[in-house]
Amino acid sequence: MLSQALTHPSADERNNRRLEYLGDAVLELVASDYLYRSQEEALEGGLTQLRQRLVQRATLASVARDVDLGRFLRYKGADLAPDAPAHEAMLADALEAVFAAVWLDGGIGPAAAVFEKLFAQRLKTVADLPRDAKSVLQEYLQGRGFKPPQYHLAGSRDDPQTPFFRTMCKVPELSLSAEGEGRTIQASEVEAAAAVLAAVGESP
């Protein structure tokens, strides 16, 4: 499973795409558990923001670099080399896949232990990061009694070397919608949220 977790879709049909899917959920769970236990004074909104920052792509890629995960990745193509823009996404995806492998092999205990070892020191750093557009939009809507925004994938290019996603962000109660594009679903959602914020005169 570890070998599969470190195999990018460009290198082999038996790659980390499915493990990445599971690892995303595993990270959400162990991050939520860790924050619930370690941040006793934090309210729901604050915990949600901290979790989002801990599991966002930039943080995952940074943690992956800390443990030199890139040295063990299997991939093909210059577009995925360490100095290429897509390399950060590949690192983040691989770390998610590794968490899935740990979960499948040992369950929540080992997964939680690995998370605490790798992410505990990140908490102070991410707490000071600027909020992304998705967080700002959700707070803007919640503060006015509206429901959270709806995100829908409007298009994609499933190419391991040059991925592309287009997402629609809708706020039915304000009759607003906007599209965003990016190399990951998260990036396209952030861009779409920023466009909605711009429409209501707010900024991230």
Please list the active-site residues: 24, 96
Look at the alpha carbons of 180, 58, 139, 202 in this order and tell me if their dihedral is positive or negative: negative
Number of neighbouring beta carbons within 10 Å of residue 151:
18
CA angle, corner 179, sides to 188 and 182, nearest 5? 25
- Distances in Å between the Cα of 184 and the Cα atoms of 72, 78, 95, 104 are 22, 19, 15, 25
CA angle, corner 201, sides to 197 and 204, nearest 5? 45
Q: At what angle do helices 133-142 and 185-199 cross, to 10 degrees?
A: 50
Q: Which amino acid is at 188?
A: S
What's phi and psi for 178, nearest 5 deg? -155, 155
Number of neighbouring beta carbons within 10 Å of residue 126:
19
Q: At what angle do helices 17-38 and 44-55 cross, to 10 degrees?
A: 140
